[in-house]
Amino acid sequence: MLSNITIKVKLLMAFSLIGLLIIIMAGYSIFAVNESSNGFTDYREMARDNNLASSIETHMLSARGSVKDYLSSKSQKDVKAFQDFLNKTRKLVNTAKEEIQNPKRAPMVEKTSELLDEYEKYFTQVVEITTKRDSIKENIIDINGKKAEQTLTLLVQSANKNKNFSMLYNSSTALRSLLIARLYTTSFLTTNDKKDLKRVNEEFEKLENFLGNLKSNINDSKEISLLNKVIGFATKYNNGVKEIYQIIVEKNNLVNDKLIVFGNEIAQLSEKVKVSLKNDQDTIGPKVAQLNDNTKLTIEIISIIIFILIVAISIYVPRDISSLISKFQEGLLNFFKYLNREIKDVNPIDIYSKNEIGIMAQVVNANITKTKAGIEEDRKVINDTIGVLSEFEQGDLCQRVQTSSSNPALQELTSLLNKMADNVEKNIDNVLGVLEEFSNYNYMNKVDSDHLKEHLLKLANGVNELGDAITQMLVENKQNGLILDKSSNILLRNVDNLNTNSNEAAAALEETAAALEEITSNIVSNTDNVVKMGNYANELTQSAKEGEKLAQETTVSMDEINEQVNSINEAITVIDQI
């Protein structure tokens, strides 16, 4: 039953089961991870909120430190530092208002924001009051104190000059009280100690008494004017001190009742937020740990089940696939060996299952059958081609490949081979036809060299050049024949003259036979030579005529003619001698 199930279905069933278990595990894991993640997220947010609260507390502490430094130094640098720390604290508080949404902690953050505004407002008032105090000290106390001291000094000098000892005493003690009052005023402005203020008031009371006494001792209008100025300066100075005292009281009230209280309250709110966060963290931590333990146990159980299934599938499925692949591999390798001519025959693959490998085996078997038929067909074509090429080798160009093949390459090869044979045969026939014309003494025809290359082109050009050479030679032979014909005619005329002269000589010889007995032998010999010369002339004429027809024997004939001409020349020479 399982052999008819495709590998795809087997793997699909196996992996579907594993996938289902993995989905179950993943689903539970996702649920557990989400729960754990939510816990960690809450824990992380609490940690971040805790850091935020600590940062608020730290920056607020730095701001309060700047306030403390300002109360001591009155420096604008401390005001700027306070403002920087307060802005950072407010920025952190605004961030906390966005991130801390817990019903217990959100009101604390909101209250902190409100207290920051109040804290800034009261510190601004302290700065304004301090600025006002510095303005009074600089514009009222310092100026009027100095003027009062200078004016009293003039009175002391005037009393000393006028030897008014009562006036001198009162003005001197008044100056002393003024200086002591100014000294303690400076101390009071630095320490804000009420003892210093009390001493200032006592010295001003003494100053008023001395000035009252001094007023009864002065009659000079100039001195009276100076005294009135001193009284006016002293009064302004004393009022300035009193005003500064009120300012200091107001500032101290703001610092003690507002800044310190609000600062402590902000610190307490930050600490409460941190404590609340820590309590929630202590609750969430164990819960997340327990959830993680349960998730780990569940995942381990499902993982063991998945592992067992994977092992079982890994043993069965590969074994089944390996057996089929081995058979398929063996059949496929035999098929390749058959294609590579390593074996002479091949059998179909012995796999009949309906899975993927069985389907591939059926396809390969079909190709084996088809390929075997194609190879046998190709062999027939190749054998036929070899036979035709053997005939070509022996010079028979009339043979053609008659067997056809379904292989396009072989079919094209046989077609090209037959076309080549047709072209070669045609060109050879053309060359043979021209050569046959040459044998019939027709040298006018040419071999067509169009569309020819390499050796055939060289052959055609060679035959054509041979025809041209023979034609040229025949033309030259004809010219030589004509010359020989003309020479033979001259020779015949000379022979006729020779015959006439011979006859006349014969008659003369008959008359002078007795006298010419000594030369008879010479005459006979000359006659024989003349006969031979006539024969030679006739043979020369015949050879000249045959030379026009027999171009192939021209060279030999020319040699014979040359010999005959030489003989004739010898005969003529002999005749001339006679």
pLDDT tens profile 314-325: 787 677 677 767
> What's the length of the chain?
578
Q: What is the pLDDT of residue 366?
A: 78
Q: What is the pLDDT of residue 521?
A: 66
Tokens of 395: 């010079």
pTM (two decimals): 0.42
Calculate ∠ Cα 222-224-226, nearest 5°.
70
Contact of 463 with 431, CB cutoff 8 Å: yes
- Block mean pLDDT (10 aa), the chain, length 578: 61 74 76 63 68 79 82 81 84 81 80 83 84 85 88 86 82 87 86 85 86 80 86 88 85 83 81 76 71 78 84 74 74 76 76 71 76 73 77 72 72 76 73 74 70 70 74 75 72 67 62 58 58 56 57 60 60 54
CA 293 to chain CA centroid, nearest Å: 48
Q: What is the pLDDT of residue 536?
A: 54
Q: What is the pLDDT of residue 533?
A: 53
pLDDT in tens, 136-185: 888 888 888 888 888 888 888 888 888 878 888 888 888 888 899 889 88
Q: What is the pLDDT of residue 53?
A: 75
Q: What is the pLDDT of residue 257?
A: 83
DSSP 518: G
Q: What is the pLDDT of residue 518?
A: 62
Contact of 111 with 269, CB cutoff 8 Å: yes
Q: What is the pLDDT of residue 162?
A: 80
Calculate ∠ Cα 333-338-342, nearest 5°.
95
Q: What is the pLDDT of residue 517?
A: 63
Among residues 576, 528, 547, 556, the alpha carbon closest in space to that of 488 is found at 547
CA distances from 555 to 441, 558, 567 (A): 16, 5, 19
- Alpha-carbon distance of 472 to 442, in angstroms, equals 13
Q: What is the pLDDT of residue 85?
A: 83
Q: What is the pLDDT of residue 412?
A: 78
